[in-house]
Structure 1
Amino acid sequence: MKTILNVIWLVLCGFWMALGYVAAGIICCILIITIPFGIASFRIAAYALWPFGRTVIRKPTAGVGSAIGNVIWLIFAGIWLAIGHIVTGIALCITIIGIPLGIASFKMVPVSLLPLGAEIVDTDGGGIYAPPPRQTAY
């Protein structure tokens, strides 16, 4: 089911949203100081192409640098990409078939606003993220 949703997503809006992230990444990579923003933008572009089966988690070790970088990103690129996700999500939710795609578009708004300190991981457990083992008190 994930593959079918990903293919429909790619055709309807994934390609165009990924192009927006790639454009933001290229602009950010022009200046040396904004290369971390460009790398984050390229990561999100890959996520925007094939979102089903993956999710975004926040890194607890992200520090003050990520917070400051996120504010800068929000002002220059994040707000525009988030608006693109919101408009796309509303357009997709017009039809019954598009509702899951619209919800996926809405779920991408937080990472488009604040990409630094976030990691995109597989939801099926086959990715690089494994939750820490539970510790029990004896």
Structure 2
Amino acid sequence: MSIIGNIIWIVFGGIFIFLEYIIAGVLLCCTIVGIPFGLKAIQLSVLGLAPFGQKVVPNESSGGCLSIFLNIFWLIFGGFWIAITHLLFAVLFAITIIGIPFAAQHIKLAGFALTPFGKSLK
């Protein structure tokens, strides 16, 4: 089921999410300060390309002061708007019964986009 879901996801917009996150990640990695944010954007691109069958789990050392600071910085400078966008897409997909699994994936993406530091993909 996850392979079919990922194929449908890619065809109906997942490739655009992937490209947006990968371009943002590469641009952020061009600066020294932006490297941690660029790496998280690249992780988001992987999840944006194939969200079915992947889980977002907290890291073993997710309670650090640095990850809290980076999450706050991320939230202020873009994470909030990314999460809002994914939540809007989730509402649009949830209107139909067929779109409910895709709405659930957008909610998962919104949660990871809101606070990505201290979490990883499994």
TM-score w.r.t. structure 1 length?
0.81
Indicate the residue corresponding to 1:48 in structure 2: 48
Structure 1: state its 5+ residue gaps. 122-138
- Number of paired residues? 121
SS at match of 1:54: coil
Greater helix fraction, Structure 1 or Structure 2:
2
Indicate the residue corresponding to 1:134 in structure 2: none
1:84 and 2:81 matched: no
In structure 2, distance between residues paired with 1:104 and 1:48: 9
TM-score w.r.t. structure 2 length?
0.91
Equivalent position amino acid for 2:37 in 1:
F
In structure 2, distance between residues paired with 1:27 and 1:98: 32
Structure 2: state its 5+ residue gaps. none
Query: Displacement, 1:13?
Result: 2.7
Could you list the runs of 4 or more consecutive aligned residues of structure 1 that deviate by over 6 angstroms after TM superposition? Answer: none
* 1:102-125 deviation digits (Å, cap 9, x = unpaired): 11111221110111111100xxxx
In structure 1, distance between residues paired with 2:24 and 2:78: 7
Equivalent position amino acid for 2:11 in 1:
V
Query: Displacement, 1:19?
Result: 2.6
Q: Select the structure of larger CA radius of gyration.
A: 1
Query: Aligned runs of 1:21-36 on 2, under 5 Å?
Result: 21-36=21-36
* 1:22-47 deviation digits (Å, cap 9, x = unpaired): 23313322321120110111011011
Equivalent position amino acid for 1:4 in 2:
I
**1:3–1:51 Cα change, 3 Å:** same
Question: Which shows bigger deviation, 88-97 or 69-78?
Answer: 88-97
